[in-house]
């Protein structure tokens, strides 16, 4: 068998502890956070150097064996899933911090460094890496870059691609490419590095990255606001844009989310509100003038007339308590029955009418489902989750949710939005890519794939089929 010959050749340069063949363990490396695909990888390899990654890729080309690049496997799109006897290439043994340069400031590390580990390292040096997720304890820097991950701080610091200064990758062809290193300015033709950010392991394996850092945010204040309707949420965002600078986050969730979190985690609604159709907003802002008794009092004056109630605090323990209501939503939904997640974006000026349309679709066509809306609204990013009871059969649920996706993405297309704001396409959304990208764009993407990975070794079947 080809795979046996491949493993035999690989064992010439990898130690025994860098090759995992035991079936149960291989299965645990064959999945990410999606539950939709049958896990079935053939072997897991743990290279320790870029040269070992290169040798593996060259051999895979020789034997025509597909490779799934694997990070922390916290992805929500099936990008790291191996379901077709692929070789899984885990970056977890390439986990060294290589360089720290406070003059830029920037850090260079191997791709398998855990996100939280990098954050803690730079905090100790007095700096800050502004990408943080509930998955940061498991996700890896290489996975974050490969998925172009977002999170709650994008509204303040912008997208991850602007923080990736340099990158080292092994392409699907087996070339080692090093982009920019520690250069801030480099106008020498196409910026190929950008193609690898968000490419979900389909063009190259990221082996090293140089990431820009910033100073730690100042102390902050968190406003927790209850609003009567979504129109007031948009008004609130407009007021925030005028009167708060810098905003660290602008998160929203609806009353279904609030009620479920209170119910599942035995919490009280902090506003003592019992009715539905209320929206809740969490705004965090850096305090610029520490002398002010109440920071951003102008904002409070402006927001007061349109809000049901406002809570605010600068105390860490209270702020943490406010954020629990937002952070616990995903878990509360996941522990309550059969659930279906979507992470989409639409331009802000059509968000209100998009939300109305989504509600209408669910009320009219998906009566047995409860809708939960929440997300990083400041970036036009909303999570659309549906929940139903386990009484619904698995197959029926799958069929109905496939129809729901079609309905939702048709709406997204109408509003010129994105079917994936943060989580990527992977296996999960590949059949819907055309709802967000034109035929011509997809054709160019395929041609780019053919250049970097002519034998389709890397993550075949992810993002699109060739
Ligand atoms: C509780 C929870 C909260 C989350 N919150 C957020 C959030 O706020 N924002 C957000 O954007 N995402 C979020 N996610 C999704 C996920 O954490 C991110 O997509 C993350 O960046 C994935 O990193 P990973 O290392 O786990 O990658 P994996 O899941 O292992 O892989 C993801 C993709 O990247 C590829 N890949 C991995 N490593 C490499 C590499 N070195 N080179 C090339 N390709 C590679 C894989 O093949 C796959 O296609 C969340 C997930 C969970 C479970």
- Name the DSSP class of 430: G
Q: How many residues does the chain have?
A: 466
What pLDDT was estimated at residue 243? 92
> What radius of gyration do the chain's Cα atoms show?
23
Predicted confidence (pLDDT) per residue in 343-363, tens digit:
999 999 999 999 999 999 999
Nearest Cα residue to atom 36 of ligand 1 = 143
Q: Report whether pLDDT(289) > 80.
A: no
Give pTM, 2 decimals.
0.95
- Which DSSP helix (H) or strand (E) runs through 117? helix 115-124
> What's the average model confidence in pLDDT over 41-58?
98
What pLDDT was estimated at residue 180? 81
Probe target for ligand 1 pocket from 119, 143, 169, with the most ligand atoms within 8 Å of CB: 143
303 Cα–ligand 1 center, Å = 36
What pLDDT was estimated at residue 266? 93
Predicted confidence (pLDDT) per residue in 151-199, tens digit:
989 999 999 999 999 999 999 999 999 998 899 999 999 999 999 999 9
Class for the domain spanning 97-215 = alpha beta
CATH topology for 220-331 is Alpha-Beta Plaits (3.30.70)
Q: Report whether pLDDT(31) > 90.
A: yes
Q: Do the domains at 97-215 and 220-331 have one common CATH topology?
A: no
> What's the average model confidence in pLDDT over 363-390?
96
Probe target for ligand 1 pocket from 37, 56, 90, 139, with the most ligand atoms within 8 Å of CB: 139
CATH topology for 337-435 is Alpha-Beta Plaits (3.30.70)
What pLDDT was estimated at residue 291? 75
149 Cα–ligand 1 center, Å = 7
Q: Report whether pLDDT(1) > 80.
A: no
Percent of the chain at pLDDT exceeding 70: 100
Domain residue limits, the chain: 2-90, 97-215, 220-331, 337-435
State how far the Cα of 89 lies from the Cα of 30, in Å rounded to an integer.
10
Question: Measured between alpha carbons, how far apart are the two ends of the chain, in Å?
Answer: 25
Percent of the chain at pLDDT exceeding 90: 93
112 pocket-lining for ligand 1 (C-beta < 6 Å): no
- Give the Å distances, CA to CA, from 83 to 29, 36, 63, 127, 147: 11, 11, 19, 40, 19
Closest CA to 79 of 22, 32, 17, 18: 32
Mean confidence (pLDDT) of the chain: 96
Residues 6+ apart with CB under 8 A from 369: 362, 386, 387, 388, 400, 404
What pLDDT was estimated at residue 134? 87
436 burial class (0-12, 13-18, 19+ CB within 10 angstroms)? buried
Nearest Cα residue to atom 15 of ligand 1 = 75
205 pocket-lining for ligand 1 (C-beta < 6 Å): yes
CATH topology for 2-90 is 3.30.43
Q: Report whether pLDDT(218) > 90.
A: no
| Residue that is written with structure tokens 């479920």 in the block | 260
144 pocket-lining for ligand 1 (C-beta < 6 Å): yes
Nearest Cα residue to atom 8 of ligand 1 = 151
What pLDDT was estimated at residue 89? 98
């Amino acid at each position: 068998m080809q795979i046996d010959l491949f493993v035999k050749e690989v064992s010439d340069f990898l130690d025994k502890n860098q090759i995992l063949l035991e079936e149960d363990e291989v299965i645990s490396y064959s999945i990410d956070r999606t539950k939709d695909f049958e896990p079935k990888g053939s072997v897991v390899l743990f290279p320790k150097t870029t040269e070992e990654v290169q040798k593996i890729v060259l051999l895979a080309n020789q034997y025509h064996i597909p490779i799934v690049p694997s990070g922390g496997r916290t992805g929500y799109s099936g990008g790291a899933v191996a379901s077709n006897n692929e070789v899984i290439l885990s970056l977890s043994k390439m986990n060294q911090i290589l360089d720290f340069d406070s003059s830029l400031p920037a850090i260079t590390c191997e791709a398998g460094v855990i996100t939280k580990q990098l954050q803690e390292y730079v905090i100790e040096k007095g700096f800050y890496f502004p990408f943080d997720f509930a998955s940061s304890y498991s996700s890896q820097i290489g996975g974050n870059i490969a998925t172009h991950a977002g999170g709650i701080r994008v509204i303040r610091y912008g997208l991850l691609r602007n923080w990736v200064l340099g990158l080292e990758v092994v392409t699907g062809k087996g070339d080692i490419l090093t982009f920019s290193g520690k250069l801030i300015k480099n106008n020498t033709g196409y910026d190929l590095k950008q193609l690898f950010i968000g490419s979900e392991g389909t063009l190259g394996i990221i082996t090293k990255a140089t990431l820009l850092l910033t100073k730690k945010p100042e102390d902050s204040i968190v406003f927790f606001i209850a609003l009567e309707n979504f129109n007031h949420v948009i008004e609130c965002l407009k007021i925030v844009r005028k009167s708060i600078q810098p905003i660290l986050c602008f998160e929203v969730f609806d009353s279904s989310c609030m009620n479920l979190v209170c119910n599942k985690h035995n919490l009280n609604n902090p506003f003592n509100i019992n009715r539905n159709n209320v929206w809740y907003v969490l705004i965090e802002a850096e305090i610029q003038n520490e002398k002010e008794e109440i920071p951003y009092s102008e904002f409070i004056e402006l927001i007061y007339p349109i809000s049901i109630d406002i809570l605010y605090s600068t105390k860490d323990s209270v702020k943490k308590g406010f954020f629990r209501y937002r952070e616990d939503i995903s878990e509360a939904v996941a522990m309550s029955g059969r659930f279906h997640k979507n992470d989409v974006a639409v331009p802000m000026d059509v968000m209100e009418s998009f939300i109305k349309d989504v509600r209408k679709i669910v009320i009219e066509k998906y009566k047995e489902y409860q809708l939960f809306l929440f997300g990083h609204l400041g970036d036009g990013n909303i999570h659309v989750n549906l929940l139903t009871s386990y009484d619904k059969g698995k197959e029926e649920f799958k069929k109905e949710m496939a129809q729901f996706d079609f309905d939702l993405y048709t709406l997204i297309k109408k509003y010129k939005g994105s079917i994936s704001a943060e989580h990527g396409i992977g296996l999960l959304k590949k059949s819907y890519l055309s709802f967000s990208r034109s035929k011509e764009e997809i054709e160019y993407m395929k041609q780019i794939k053919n250049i970097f990975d002519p034998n389709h070794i890397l993550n075949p079947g992810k993002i699109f089929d060739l």
